[in-house]
Amino acid sequence: HHNLADATDALLGRDTEVELLNRLLDQHRLVSVIGSSGIGKTRLAQAVARQRVDAHADGVWWVDLAVLRSADQLAPAIARAAGLALGNGDAQKLLGLALQPRDTLLVLDNCEHLVEALAPLAATLLDGAPRLRLLATSLEPLKVRGEQLCRLEGLAIPPAPMSLDLARCFAAIQLLECRA
Per-residue three-class SS string for the chain: CECCCCCCCCCCCCHHHHHHHHHHHHHCCEEEEECCCCCCHHHHHHHHHHHCHHHCCCCEEEEEHHHCCCHHHHHHHHHHHHCCCCCCCCHHHHHHHHHCCCCCEEEEECCHHHHHHHHHHHHHHHHHCCCCEEEEEECCCCCCCCCEEEECCCCCCCCCCCCHHHHCCCHHHHHHHHHC
The residues, any chain, with a CB within 8 Å of residue 24's CB and separated by 6 or more, are 31, 148, 150
Which of the residues in the chain have pLDDT under 70?
Answer: none
**Separation of alpha carbons 168 and 157, rounded Å:** 10
Q: What is the pLDDT of residue 180?
A: 78
Considering only CA atoms, which of 95, 77, 78 is closest in space to residue 86?
95
**Separation of alpha carbons 99 and 79, rounded Å:** 9
Report pTM.
0.92
Considering only CA atoms, which of 96, 110, 112, 7 is closest in space to residue 49?
7
**Separation of alpha carbons 98 and 92, rounded Å:** 10
Considering only CA atoms, which of 88, 80, 78 is closest in space to residue 122?
78
Strands 60-64 and 105-109: parallel
The Cβ of residue 78 has, within 10 Å, a number of other Cβ atoms equal to 26
Interval 56-109: pLDDT, tens: 999 999 999 999 999 999 999 999 999 999 999 999 999 999 999 999 999 999
Q: What is the pLDDT of residue 42?
A: 96
The residues, any chain, with a CB within 8 Å of residue 27's CB and separated by 6 or more, are 148
Q: What is the pLDDT of residue 9?
A: 79
